[in-house]
Amino acid sequence: MSSDFHIQTVGIVGLGLIGASFAKAFRENSDYKILGYDIDSSINHFAVLDGTLDAILTEDRISECDFLLLAMYPKAIISYLKEHAGKIKKTALVMDCGGTKQDICRECQAVAHEYGFTFVGGHPMAGKKYSGYKYSSGKLFKNASMVIVPEHTDDISFLDHIKQILAPCEFGRITVCSAEKHDEMIAFTSQMAHLVSNAYIKSPTAKEHKGFSAGSYKDMTRVAWLNETMWTELFLENKDNLVKELDYIIGFLSEYRNALASENAEELWRLLHEGKICKEEVDGK
């Protein structure tokens, strides 16, 4: 595995919100030659016409890429890499942008070992309500966190090169961890938020909320509107961690419900105070 990458040509597979935002960030802040491909051919041609891409990433141009970024759903990432591994040059760095990491890293690192190139897991912690090329932006990642999941977390030189390659995206923070840690944390910070929000809005009372709602309602429902196809795949890929977090919150909610039903003011106060203190300890006031 090389730790010294000389990047001249970047290839991006998947030109949705994330992939196209990477392409635009590289276009705006680097001299990289940018090739891209999306399953929707109209997007490929539009991205060339608007100047985001230098050219379409056709199969015969995969070998030109020094840095290949795979911005698709997890299963599609694995399938693409297995199908096209023979076209990737041994000096190339391949990174994914999938929302879960254990299956992707296990499968893709094995492919990388077989064919001699380098693979590293990646997950940009940024997004928007709407997906697709139309909503992409070269500023999407500015000051956001980028999670890097390398095969070896103690290779400082390798990680420094990754940071240099991603510098045009202007991430505010690079977090390095194992695939297992990533999936454990993302179940809590991202997947649970989407799942709870999606469940919360199902209350029959929601249909009558206008005139009675403010910031709290907006905060709770912001991610209820989601891409159900993508999130179904992500949830099932990470089901063990997500079920664990669901068990936690269901248990805690049951405590609040029992205190309310029994009109136990002392217990309800204790539970509310406990949650307040947890928030202070985690994030401050």
Strand order from edge to edge, sheet including 55-56: 55-56, 33-37, 9-13, 67-70, 93-96, 118-125, 145-149, 173-176
Query: Would residue 20 count as lying in a domain?
Result: yes
pLDDT at residue 4 in the model: 63
Task: Kindly indicate the confidence band of residue 213, based on its pLDDT and cuts at 50, 70 and 90.
Answer: confident
Lowest mean pLDDT among 1-10, 24-33, 157-166: 1-10
Res 11 pLDDT > 60: yes
Least confident interval from 8-17, 128-137, 176-185, 259-268: 128-137
Average confidence (pLDDT) over 88-95? 97
Query: Is 23 within a domain?
Result: yes
Residue 58 lies in a domain: yes
How many domains, in total, are found in the chain?
Answer: 2
Asked whether residue 164 falls in the same domain as residue 30, the answer is yes
pLDDT over 70 at 232, yes or no: yes
**Per-residue DSSP letter, 124:** E
**Residue ranges making up the domain that contains 168:** 9-177
| 210 and 266 together in one domain | yes
- Is residue 130 predicted with pLDDT exceeding 90? no
Q: What pTM was estimated for this model as a whole?
A: 0.92
